[in-house]
Structure 1
Amino acid sequence: MSTRFPIRFDWKDLELILALAETGSIAAAAQRNHLVASAVSKRLSDLEQQFGAALVERHARGVRLTPAGEALRARAVHLLDEAHRLQGELQDYASGVTGHVRLFANISAIVEFLPRALAAFRDTYPGIRVELQEQVSADVAQAVRAGVADLGIVSELPHMPDLTFTPFRQDELQLVVPAGHPLAAREQLPFTAALDYPLVGLHANSTLHVRLTREAAQAGRELRPLVQVTSFDAVCAMVAAGLGVGVVPRAATTPYVQSLGLTGLTLSDDWAHRQLCLCTRADTVLSPATHQLFTHLQQTSETATG
């Protein structure tokens, strides 16, 4: 068991560290935090004495953080963000909210499945506030693991012993091509057939980009998107403009495909049918509000597949 020491710094100290990192000046940091420079110097000296390490080093143009100061700055960003979230959550409770859930999900889940599911949840539990944030699946899992998210929705992740994955929905990937494209007459094809044409893809950190890169490599090819964007509707728009072909979820992009006059082709690859999962920490009991949302999403999944 680690030794716990009494905490002798406060939120203002953390705000000062961030201000020093951003401004490089004690005077500017003092002005930003409505203090005099001597007060900032005193707080800084007290912190350094408490930690037994220098947090800043002075130079001709001001100050810069030491490695210890950088470590404190990195933690301060997270701690202050959590403090602001907590303040907002408590203010929600004061205004009549009965629960708060931080839900992180990948873009496929957000576009395809969550709008109706969350609208129905709000109607059933009007007092529970759901804070939804889009992240790639790997970052969703990390947020759940770190306690930043209460619940996540991910796809295609390796086994992680500290997380529990519960099947949620399945989505189907398709290849979209512009009208008149040489592939447009084919009803079904493998993804590798698309590698002979310019590709419009998602950003490099997305789960789908990683999957397509892996599939191309297994076929002895290199995935080199001509254009990379951040959303599926943008992929469709770029394909409609003639910049290439793209892989997108069928259910999420049908309206764009139809309105832009694109052709959606079925991919014959097994991986084109993806399993989305609800992600929770294996060692944590869900809060009542999180448990209610988890159960609601499970039930909507069962209804959709039943």
Structure 2
Amino acid sequence: MSLDLDTKFAFRLDWNLLRTFLVISEEGSITRAAHRLLRGQPSVSLALKRLESELGCRLVDRGHGGFRLTAAGRQLQRECTELFSGVARIPEVTQEASTEISGEVNIMLASHVVTPLLDNELSALSAAHPKMRFTIRIDTSARVIHAVRERMVSFGICLVNRRFSDVDYTQMYREFFGFYCGPSHPLFGRSNLSFADLRNFPAVSFDTDDLSDALRPVALLRGEWGLDYEIVGRSSQLEEVRRMIQCGMGIGSLPIHVVEPDVERGLLWRLPPYENPPQVDIYLVSNPKKRLNKAEALFLERLSARIARTPLDERTYLSGPPPASSSGAP
């Protein structure tokens, strides 16, 4: 019996090319994909060219330091995501039913997600089901949402600026942002400051610290008090924003409960506002259309239940998460 063209293609194709392409599309860079795959960059570039030759179309536009999936590339990324999600479930669906839960849980977080809700659930599940495996990646909130929508991850935890109808949102906790400076800054160690004292100083900020982005409350406060100071540094990562503030590059906003230890160690100094700081809600986001393995389903179910049974005031971190500690404000 002869095989049709589609079936012949499936038999002829080296499926490793699809895996390589999926990693390239997830990383947005051939260099980063090569690092993740533990292969040389020329080898990964050649695999991409071979796949484009097999398919007869261009999958990635490259040039001038840019990287962008073509329409065909975006469609293939969706197909590969579904394909490898199914492949990952093969051990589970072929094994006999067991009370022991195993499987991979892929979580994507914004850089400043710090909450005992997540930590306690990770601890409890890893102890109860030692065969569960976890991969946690940090990225911008926008990319977290994108990964959830494209079903690349089990679920995400991030800030939310724009809501999409194909994503489920659960308010996980509420945090507050304070303004800080580092030890070498002229305002460090000074008490009883006002907003007027902050004017005309350079600043560092998150990429999302904008009226049209996820840290809109922080941007609104700056605009209200005329703190449109010169931005000398930006990053999407909390660690790098904190680094620039500590180095004295400028004033910046950080989650109060996250940086309390730095204040107590003398690495940061809290600046106005001391009362009613900007509040930001952090959400658990998931895609109801994603096919979850047993580990993913259990984790999402238990984390959602933990959130639901915890009153909002216990999930509101003005200082630190329970147990409470001092705010470190001057």
Per the normalisation by structure 2, the TM-score is: 0.61
Is the 2:209–2:219 Cα contact (8 Å) retained in structure 1?
no
Structure-to-structure mapping, 1:16-165, within 5 angstroms: 44=53, 47-48=55-56, 71-72=71-72, 98-109=102-113, 114-165=118-169
Structure 2 unpaired stretches of 5+ = 25-29, 31-41, 60-68, 95-99, 316-330
Q: Does 1:167 align with 2:171?
A: yes
Deviations 1:59-94 (A, max 9, x none): xxxxxxxxxx95555655676677677767768999
Q: Does 1:178 align with 2:218?
A: no
Is the 1:233–1:256 Cα contact (8 Å) retained in structure 2?
no
Is the 1:112–1:252 Cα contact (8 Å) retained in structure 2?
no
Residue 77 and residue 283 in structure 1: after superposition, are their counterparts in 2 closer, same or farther (change >3 A)? closer
Q: Please report how far the alpha carbon of residue 139 of structure 1 lies from its aligned counterpart in structure 2 after TM superposition.
A: 1.6
Q: Please report how far the alpha carbon of residue 148 of structure 1 lies from its aligned counterpart in structure 2 after TM superposition.
A: 0.9
Q: Please report how far the alpha carbon of residue 134 of structure 1 lies from its aligned counterpart in structure 2 after TM superposition.
A: 1.2
1:196 aligned counterpart, secondary structure: coil
Q: Which amino acid aligns with 1:196?
A: N
| Pairs aligned (count) | 268
Tell me how far apart the structure 1 counterparts of residues 55 and 215 of structure 2 sit (CA, whole Å): 45
Per the normalisation by structure 1, the TM-score is: 0.64
Tell me how far apart the structure 1 counterparts of residues 149 and 207 of structure 2 sit (CA, whole Å): 24
Tell me how far apart the structure 2 counterparts of residues 262 and 17 of structure 1 sit (CA, whole Å): 43
RMSD (Å) for aligned C-alpha atoms: 4.7
Structure 1 unpaired stretches of 5+ = 23-27, 34-39, 49-53, 57-68
Is the 2:200–2:227 Cα contact (8 Å) retained in structure 1?
no
Tell me how far apart the structure 1 counterparts of residues 118 and 138 of structure 2 sit (CA, whole Å): 11
Structure-to-structure mapping, 1:227-306, within 5 angstroms: 227-265=233-271, 267=273, 272-283=278-289, 287-301=293-307, 302-303=309-310, 305=314
Q: Which amino acid aligns with 2:167?
A: L
| Greater Cα shift, 296-305 or 161-170 | 296-305
**Identical aligned residues as a percent:** 15
Larger Rg: 1
Residue 85 and residue 137 in structure 1: after superposition, are their counterparts in 2 closer, same or farther (change >3 A)? same
Tell me how far apart the structure 1 counterparts of residues 123 and 79 of structure 2 sit (CA, whole Å): 31
Q: Does 1:200 align with 2:192?
A: no
